[in-house]
Amino acid sequence: MMQAHADIVLGASVQQTGSDANTGRYYVDAYNFAIDKINAAGGVNVGGKKEKLALKVYDNQSDLNLSVRQYVQLVSQDKVNLLLGPFASNYALADSAVSEKYEVPMVQGGGASDQIFARKFKYVFGTLPAASDYFGSTLAMMKELKPVPAKVALLFADDAFDVSVANGTRPQLKQGGLDLVFEQKYASNASDFGSIIAQLKDKQVQAVLVAGHETEVLNFIRQAKSLNYSPMLYSFTVGVPSADFRKSIGADANYAFGMTSWMPSAQQKDAWFGDGEQFAKAWKAKFNYEPDYHAASGVADVEAVVHAIEAAGSVDPKKVRDALAKVDFPSLYGQIKFADNGQISLPQQVIQVQNGGVKAIYSNKFLAQPLYPMQPWDKR
């Protein structure tokens, strides 16, 4: 989708069809929504001249190799000014190598893997907090639960993001005095968790931490129910913030813990959307589904690019890159400021599905009463 007479073109390749399209749509919608809002407010001030934004976006069809080729096309043939990212860490890991090679900045809110930011790249910036700390707030909460779950299991998919989560969680479990009694890496898009659940039962695991994808989490919960496996708690890196996730399993989603770097709040002031609460209402009215942290992160990506262009007074990629390294502004998503490695630092809030809705439970302290321990399936 391209707007006529645009002065500044942002390019992206996003999963609009295929296995990752359900989450990919947040980013396409976020980019378009932010660009429309910024243009409606007069556009971008580039050295005293107001210029309009446009988006050139391709559908990578949830194909990693196609995504890389499309980013090459965006910078080498389409000659877009700057880049926005895809969804998912394995895509951001590969696609950001294109931005680095061609020296065109990419701001992406779809990849959190530490691997993306460990390469000392200068041209990739990320608005998701580090994958290695996704379970940090959950572990802090677990130590304050009564009783503390004595035996913990860690399950994770074999992709960049989930491996980073596992690598960060292991030492935190040890530091927190929590006993990791079972660990299992599984193939992405796994559908059968029966043998894993049998081992969790056998080892009497009380807390299960799962780093995976939404379809895997749904499969895990469905099979835990059918095999009547009820640990004291389980927590998932994805799914819980998503209305689609909760809708697809109904009341069976209750008790599931998760985490989010964003919940809409009037405290999150924003130059274009007013605040986080106003943004969430406007999003729901426009797209007819609830925004989650993917949506807020995607909007923040566009805002970061705009702040950097205005600070640089130019769309020159090197000047924008240097300005991105220095941005520090409030947004509907939180304070946007990148560390030296290009990644943002935002606290993860522990959330839980209660009565079909999402409740904020813990962030340095309890914000609400958790449903704990989990009710056995046969007593619900």
What are the C-alpha distances in Å from 180 to residues 148, 160, 204, 246, 362?
A: 13, 22, 12, 28, 22
pLDDT at 130 over 70: yes
- Whether residue 184 is found in the same domain as residue 115: no
Residue 92 located in a structural domain: yes
Task: Give the CATH number for residue 116.
Answer: 3.40.50.2300
Residue 229 located in a structural domain: yes
Q: What is the pLDDT of residue 5?
A: 52
Using a pLDDT cut of 90, give the percent of the chain over it. Answer: 97
pLDDT at 226 over 90: yes
- Whether residue 48 is found in the same domain as residue 60: yes
- Whether residue 32 is found in the same domain as residue 123: yes
Q: What is the pLDDT of residue 163?
A: 96
Residue 3 located in a structural domain: no
- Whether residue 57 is found in the same domain as residue 78: yes
What are the C-alpha distances in Å from 256 to residues 128, 136, 264?
A: 22, 17, 20
Q: Which of 268, 285, 380, 241 is nearest to 332 (CA)?
A: 268
What's the whole-number mean pLDDT along residues 244-252? Answer: 95
Q: Would you place residue 1 in the very low, low, confident or very high pLDDT band (cuts 50, 70, 90)?
A: very low
**Residue 1 to residue 58: CA distance in whole angstroms:** 9
What confidence tens digit (pLDDT) does each residue in 262-290 have?
999 999 999 999 999 999 999 999 999 99
Contacts of 116 (CB under 8 A, 6+ apart): 89, 92, 93, 96, 124, 126, 160, 343
What confidence tens digit (pLDDT) does each residue in 355-372 have?
999 999 999 999 999 999
Mean pLDDT, the chain, whole residue set: 96
Range of the domain at 161: 133-260+348-379
Residue 44 located in a structural domain: yes
- Whether residue 246 is found in the same domain as residue 272: no
Residue 1 located in a structural domain: no
- Whether residue 229 is found in the same domain as residue 352: yes
- Whether residue 228 is found in the same domain as residue 172: yes
- Whether residue 187 is found in the same domain as residue 105: no
Predicted model pTM? 0.93
Residue 46 located in a structural domain: yes
- Whether residue 142 is found in the same domain as residue 26: no
Residue 60 located in a structural domain: yes
What confidence tens digit (pLDDT) does each residue in 58-103 have?
999 999 999 999 999 999 999 999 999 999 999 999 999 999 999 9
pLDDT at 332 over 60: yes
- Whether residue 231 is found in the same domain as residue 353: yes
- Whether residue 268 is found in the same domain as residue 331: yes
Q: What is the pLDDT of residue 17?
A: 98
Report the number of distinct structural domains present in the chain: 2
